[in-house]
Amino acid sequence: MGNCWGTKISSHNVSPACPSSAAGSNNNNKQCARRGGGRKAGGLTLSASQHSRSSRVSAALSMPNSNPATPRSEDEILQSANVRSFTFNELRTSTRNFRPDSVLGEGGFGSVFKGWIDENTFAPTRPGTGMVIAVKKLNQEGFQGHREWLAEVNYLGQLSHPNLVKLVGYCLEDEQRLLVYEFMPRGSLENHLFRRGSHFQPLSWNLRMKVALGAAKGLAFLHSDKAKVIYRDFKTSNVLLDSNYNAKLSDFGLAKDGPTGDKSHVSTRVMGTYGYAAPEYLATGHLTAKSDVYSFGVVLLELLSGRRALDKNRPSSEHNLVDWARPYLSSKRRLFRILDARLGGQYSLSGARRVAALALQCLSRDSRNRPTMDQVVASLQQLTDAVDDGSGTQKQLLVVGSGGHRSSRSRRYPNSPPDVYHQVVARNLNLNAPGAKSAAHHRRPSPATTRRRLSASPLPEL
């Protein structure tokens, strides 16, 4: 699992304030509760069963905080047939006593450990047998406390979707707070985009689009009438990947119910992660579904560029990814300058333009001009359908020279290796002719020859 948490945003003067449930807090502020009854959004009225779910979650989360030494009752936790209660000893055994070599990741909540349980009885099993799980153990001195833990149990316990990580169970025993998830073998999107090493190979263009679409579907479900939830902390470390690179959203500790009745927003304490939070949310504390759309735009930009939302290791003018990339997103001619070099030139030119335009929409400073997540899903679905049409047709690719300053159009064979040199050779081949050879069979030209060919090719009209 291994999701890594970013820097939490400190609150400033927004009203009303909502307690973050840090260890030792004692607050009975019910404004932070999930609200139920008479709930409408976007002209849609919730069904009776949806009203009931919201009301029950509201009651659970409105319970007052208490001193961490005082055990909380499981009455706070909404019953779910799909979520099991574990004892602390069961989880300790399944993770081999929380051994350091079982750690999958660490963050503000605490550490995540790999464990094994029986698929039918859920009893601990020997390592390598049974079902693999990820056990998140609350750090009592960490960023998050009981309220965030409870929010995650109740949200994931009540919501189910292919693009939300599955909550297997929880442990509430004395001061111990643990969450048990399905194991996500490929870890977080953050690791694949920004970590280097043999374990984290660069994601191809198609995989990036697949991940973007899956994450968008997860957010769209949360915003739908079935859930009406604002995620509030969408970022690459909270997007986990299964063995087939299917994206699933994790970490619901900061999630909030959407606005009710005729309200346009939820007023709440500003929390989240620097670089991902929408500007109007930072300025006013007004939270809407469009706040999540902005965060999605940041992640889409990270997928395009291979850069972090915030990176203090870069020149000062490039610290903030959105500020640095915005002019390039709006310039078709200069777009290639921000695209991730690790893509190796293997991406659809028209697709890159469309994704850049979508990211720019999501990052609009005026939230009213941002698309809904349903609209984002539709746009990305069209893009991935075009890539996966199964026809074997040639795709137009943008080829960036070694210095990143020149570009050229080229064609690619189906199943040809991702090599810029092979693409240059392939430009002059009739790929549909009988007996045509793969570019891999042609001798690799010298760098000087390649530079001449690139120089002789006209720049694409972006």
Task: List the binding residues for ATP.
Answer: 137
Question: Residue 251: CB partners within 8 Å, gap ≥ 6?
Answer: 3, 5, 109, 152, 233, 238
Q: CB of 128 within 8 A of CB of 8?
A: no
Question: Angle CA(373)–CA(218)–CA(81) in degrees, nearest 5?
Answer: 140
User: Phi/psi class of residue 187: alpha, beta or left (left: φ > 0; alpha: ψ in -120 to 50)?
Assistant: left
User: Does the CA dihedral 29-34-39-43 come out positive or negative?
Assistant: positive
Position 34: which residue type?
R
Catalytic residue among 174, 233, 242, 385: 233
3-class secondary structure, 271: coil
CA distance 24 to 309: 32
Tokens of 364: 């609009």
CA distance 104 to 386: 36
CA distance 98 to 136: 10
Q: Say whether 385 is catalytic.
A: no
CA distance 111 to 196: 22
Tokens of 288: 């809407």
Neighbours of 171 (CB within 10 A): 21
Counting other chains too, the contacts that 34-39 makes at CB distance below 8 Å and 24 or more residues apart are 34/58, 34/60, 34/61, 34/62, 34/154, 34/256, 34/257, 35/257, 35/260, 38/260, 38/261, 39/228, 39/260, 39/261
CA distance 72 to 59: 14
Question: Residue 204: CB partners within 8 Å, gap ≥ 6?
Answer: 343, 346, 418
What element of type H or E holds 409?
A: strand 407-411
Binding-site residues from annotation: 137
CA distance 181 to 95: 13
Report the chain's C-alpha Rg in angstroms: 24
DSSP 8-class letter at 300: H
What are the beta bridge partners of residue 397?
348, 410
Could you list the active site residues?
233
